[in-house]
């Protein structure tokens, strides 16, 4: 019986789960530190009346939400597949990344809007508090960026990548706030506060758009960028006994879990099981694809309409 759905389920030979102890530990540390500093920065931003600081605190709020989603994705990815979710819960990692990327873009738009408003109506700032909070934020964000960067190198995870972009944005935000505070202190150019915040917004938007694009590709089940579908089709065609490869699909369930399906016309004089074994071995050794479904067909029995008729015609021409 499947403990999640209460239904009998014949589990697949491959477990669609993702154990990421390093990522989980990293996100817990990051979440606790981020939550603490977010409160500090919101209070500091309100007291100092700095848009650059407030824009950074708004981004920090999104970090807390993003990290929460990432934590949920990592815990769900460890759950076993069941009769309803036969691929397990790996796809939630991508959904969380999509929401994180969308949040980054929305926050950037809000920063642009407020920046334009403050260009038109400049507001006074509390320099001392502004630069103090920004300096603390710079140190915190630098530490968290390094921690997340190391974790991302050890365990590939789109959620860690999206969190890393959040904190790169935060690091630049803190640096920008410090720069704005120093310039304003020596020149009284109040427009530097919204100007720096809008530059920060542009960087945040760039990172969000990148995460949004990558997660959308996976959700749309496009061929992962690391693979050349035509090249793989040709390699399958080189397997002894394979005459044609068609109805081929390759997609990512999660960032490093790939699935492939294909139909193949094969010669009648070769055992299909031998072809499947050789094809699967090639996919695993050459491309790292371990989850494939290959359907063996004879064109005279499974012609696939006009496609099969043309295949049989060309095959007959080659034989003659």
CB of 199 closer than 8 Å to CB of 176 = yes
Q: Where are the alpha helices (DSSP H) in the chain?
A: 21-48, 51-76, 92-120, 127-154, 158-187, 192-219, 229-237, 272-282, 306-319
Q: Which residue has the tokens 């929305």?
A: 106
| Cα atoms found within 13 Å of the Cα of residue 121, Cβ hemisphere only | 3
pLDDT, residue 264, reads 93
- As a whole number of angstroms, the longest Cα–Cα distance in the chain is 89
Residue partners of 272: CB distance under 8 A and separation at least 6: 266, 296
DSSP 176-207: HHHHHHHHHHHH--TTHHHHHHHHHHHHHHHH
CA–CA separation, 24 and 29 (whole Å)? 9
pLDDT, residue 240, reads 93
CA–CA separation, 52 and 204 (whole Å)? 13
Beta bridge partner(s), residue 219 = none
CA–CA separation, 185 and 179 (whole Å)? 10
The series of mean pLDDT values per 10 residues for the chain, 320 residues long, is: 50 51 69 79 75 68 75 76 77 83 84 82 74 81 79 61 72 80 83 82 84 89 92 95 93 84 90 93 93 89 80 80
- In three-state form (DSSP H/G/I as H, E/B as E, the rest C), the secondary structure along 268-281 is CCCCHHHHHHHHHH
Residue partners of 123: CB distance under 8 A and separation at least 6: 49, 51, 190
pLDDT, residue 94, reads 84
Q: How far is CA 179 from the centre of its chain?
A: 32
CB of 259 closer than 8 Å to CB of 250 = yes
């Amino acid at each position: 019986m499947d403990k999640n759905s209460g239904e009998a389920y014949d589990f697949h030979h491959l477990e669609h789960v993702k154990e990421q102890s390093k990522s989980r530990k990293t996100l817990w540390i990051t979440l606790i530190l981020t939550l603490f500093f977010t409160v500090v920065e919101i209070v500091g931003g309100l007291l100092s009346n700095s848009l650059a600081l407030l824009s950074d605190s708004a981004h920090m709020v999104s970090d807390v939400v993003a990290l929460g989603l990432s934590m949920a994705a990592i815990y769900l990815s460890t759950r076993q597949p069941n009769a309803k979710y036969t691929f397990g819960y790996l796809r939630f990692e991508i959904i969380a990344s999509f929401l994180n990327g969308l949040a980054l873009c929305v926050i950037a738009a809000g920063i642009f809007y407020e920046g334009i408003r403050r260009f038109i109506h400049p507001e006074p700032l509390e320099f001392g508090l502004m630069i103090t909070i920004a300096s603390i934020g710079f140190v915190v964000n630098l530490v968290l960026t390094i921690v997340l960067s190391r974790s991302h190198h050890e365990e590939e995870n789109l959620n860690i990548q999206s969190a890393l972009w959040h904190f790169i944005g935060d690091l630049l935000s803190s640096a920008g706030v410090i720069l704005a505070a120093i310039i304003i202190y020596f020149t009284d150019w109040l427009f530097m506060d919204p100007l720096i915040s809008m530059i920060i917004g542009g960087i945040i938007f760039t990172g969000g758009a990148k995460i949004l694009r990558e997660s959308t590709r996976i959700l749309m089940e496009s061929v992962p960028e690391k693979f050349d579908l035509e090249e793989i089709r040709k390699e399958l065609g080189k397997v002894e006994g394979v005459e044609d490869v068609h109805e081929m699909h390759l997609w990512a369930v999660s960032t490093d879990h790939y699935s492939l399906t294909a139909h193949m016309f094969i010669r009648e004089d070769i055992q299909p099981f031998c072809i499947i074994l050789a094809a699967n071995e090639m996919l695993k050794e050459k491309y790292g694809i371990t989850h494939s479904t290959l359907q063996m067909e004879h064109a005279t029995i499974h012609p696939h309409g006009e496609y099969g008729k043309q295949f049989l015609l060309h095959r007959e021409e080659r034989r003659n």
